[in-house]
Structure 1
Amino acid sequence: MARNRLSRSRRNKRYTELDFRLPEALLRLDWSPDQIVGYLRGRGYPTMSHELIYQYVWNDKTFGGTLWKHLRQSTKKRRKRHNSKDSRGRLAAKRHITERPANAEHRKEPGHWEIDTVVGRGTKHCIVTLVDRMTGYTFIGQMGDRTSESLNVRMSKIMTRSDLPFKTITADNGTEFHGYAQLEKHHNCLFYFVNPYHSWERGTNENTNGLIRQYLPKRTSMSHVTQKFCNEIAHKLNTRPRKRLGYRTPTEYIHAHL
């Protein structure tokens, strides 16, 4: 077993096979080596370096193991848009991102969210992602199509069933968000909109979508994605420690600040 070989190496005499069991279990939950080290160290566990955990993963792969499949790999490439026009329609009386309140802008409290839709290959099916700016807490919703009607139905279910606050929501200019006024009316929240094609103005959401691509790669069809699977992905993300949260999980962090 790879664990035995690595623990017996001259460089790693201080670690036994037992020492690798917890890091391995967390790897299988799709935690990164950095998250594992930070989380365990913050709770008083004796921990190895994240470099050693990577070494362990690749040693495991050499001998036929599958731990490497749980590591995230970013393959997304940025596209530059030169003088592109926003052809997705215009929203009347929309609030610009610069009007967003200070607590939302500076991540001072939970309840300020970023929203986006993620499409798959070959079908009209997609998912909607909603991420809290302060904590990274995430909701993922399955949608049959990318229309404002479908988005409002899914968003209403998310917001009605959760006890978390929804104070502001920052969106792009996609037509699926053109029914935002109905959500504002029924759920007492305010929408704000970024500049066209300025995805970095929703950086928290963009980063989360990259994490979701570990489970739904870019060329995956969304036609067989269920809400149950979306909930499972969200649970994994919400119970995974984040470096920017002091290696606490989004679930821990958001409930500590309510």
Structure 2
Amino acid sequence: MRSYQHLSREDREEIAVFRAAGHRLSAIARALDRSPSTICRELRRNALPSGRYSTQSADGAYMLRRQRDAVLEQDGRLAQFVRDRLAEGWAPEQIAGWLKAGNETGLRALCMETIYGFIYRARQKAEELWCYLVRRRRTRRPLRARRPRELIRDRSSIHERPETVETQEVVGQWEGDLIICKRMRPVLVLHERKPRLTLAARLTGKSAAETASVIMAIFRHLDPELRKSITFDNDTAFTHHTLLRVMLDMVTWFCDAYASWQKGGIENTNGWLRRWLPRQANIDNLSDEDLQEVVMTYNLTPRK
């Protein structure tokens, strides 16, 4: 059993998944290499009044108790820096990364959860800092209880991905995802990590066969050096990923279960595309030309 450490957000993600699946505290403790008392204490302190355990709510309750966002309340210069960057369109993740890199002399590093806590803290809501976020939500939505899903067969973990992919040293490393709009009509989005090129296509549904077929049709037009690998989340639409290996000699990687944030490039891209493709949008009324115009607009938008 590991020496005592505070539970991380990843630990809380796993607790939420195991809890939703109905596992006992002892089984959860073994899976996380923690003592049963640690898991019991976490559920007692941070579960919702209904008894349901949500990662985001639990993390928020912990952060509130620790008063980590008080760092910004006590440091006026740091708080103003955060406000200014938010007003310029920076995401909390970008602000946290910039500070962590030591790019601002005299300002301490912050984690993104501290910044989100500052934005949504009751005393800060009068400022409406949430208006600067891409999704502009007045409140942070709690994560829904999720059922563990069966892993996709023959998947390779993102943790086996070479460091050159993570550091974006070479071209040809893609990420794939779906944007779901009205009537469950998805838009397939493909994002290249190094040049940050985005491609997209409409789908009629979420069938694995159609998804794989459209991806192959797009990538067949690219030089093999420009399509070496692709990273997906665990959506069943990507079940036929092995076709990309066999037909196009591409390597496929998969995020951990319920950890789509591990492919951050395309997640950020999806957030921007939602400005033109909101959830209530009817894809049936969107022509292929309209979609490509949206994608071109995004590709021509300067990145931070």
Q: TM-score, normalised by structure 1?
A: 0.61
Aligned partner of 1:146 among 206, 221, 224: 206
Is the alpha carbon distance of 1:179 and 1:215 closer, same or farther for their aligned partners in structure 2, counting shifts above 3 Å? same
Cα deviation, residue 202, structure 1? 1.1
Distance 1:219 1:83 in 2: 23
Asked if 1:182 corresponds to 2:243, the answer is yes
Asked if 1:194 corresponds to 2:258, the answer is no
Asked if 1:90 corresponds to 2:151, the answer is yes
Is the alpha carbon distance of 1:78 and 1:221 closer, same or farther for their aligned partners in structure 2, counting shifts above 3 Å? farther
Unaligned runs of 5+ in 2: 1-86, 91-131
Q: Secondary structure at the match of 2:283?
A: coil
Distance 2:170 2:238 in 1: 24
Distance 1:34 1:200 in 2: 20
Bigger relative CO (Cα 8 Å, ≥ 6 apart): 1
Q: Secondary structure at the match of 1:144?
A: coil
CA RMSD of aligned residues (A): 2.6
2:200–2:295 contact (8 Å) kept in structure 1: yes
The one-letter amino acid of 2:163's match is: A
Cα deviation, residue 74, structure 1? 2.6
The one-letter amino acid of 1:161's match is: H
2:227–2:250 contact (8 Å) kept in structure 1: yes
How many pairs does the alignment contain? Answer: 175
The one-letter amino acid of 2:186's match is: C
Distance 2:167 2:270 in 1: 21
In structure 2, the residue matched to 1:11 is: none
Q: Secondary structure at the match of 2:178?
A: strand
Distance 2:289 2:204 in 1: 14
2:201–2:288 contact (8 Å) kept in structure 1: yes
The one-letter amino acid of 1:86's match is: P
TM alignment of 1:104-253, pairs within 5 A: 104-121=165-182, 123-163=183-223, 165-243=226-304
**Greater helix share, 1 or 2?**
2
Distance 1:72 1:92 in 2: 37
Cα deviation, residue 133, structure 1? 1.4
In structure 2, the residue matched to 1:250 is: none
Distance 2:249 2:237 in 1: 19
1:96–1:194 contact (8 Å) kept in structure 2: yes
* % same residue: 24
Unaligned runs of 5+ in 1: 1-31, 36-70, 244-258
In structure 1, the residue matched to 2:28 is: none
1:173–1:193 contact (8 Å) kept in structure 2: yes
Asked if 1:101 corresponds to 2:126, the answer is no
Runs of 4+ in structure 1 deviating by more than 4 angstroms, as ranges, are 32-35, 76-80
1:126–1:143 contact (8 Å) kept in structure 2: yes
Cα deviation, residue 174, structure 1? 0.6
Is the alpha carbon distance of 1:74 and 1:178 closer, same or farther for their aligned partners in structure 2, counting shifts above 3 Å? same
2:170–2:194 contact (8 Å) kept in structure 1: yes
Q: Secondary structure at the match of 1:223?
A: helix
2:134–2:271 contact (8 Å) kept in structure 1: no
In structure 1, the residue matched to 2:123 is: none
Distance 1:235 1:82 in 2: 34
Deviations 1:151-183 (A, max 9, x none): 112111211123471111110111100000012
Distance 2:241 2:140 in 1: 28
Q: TM-score, normalised by structure 2?
A: 0.53
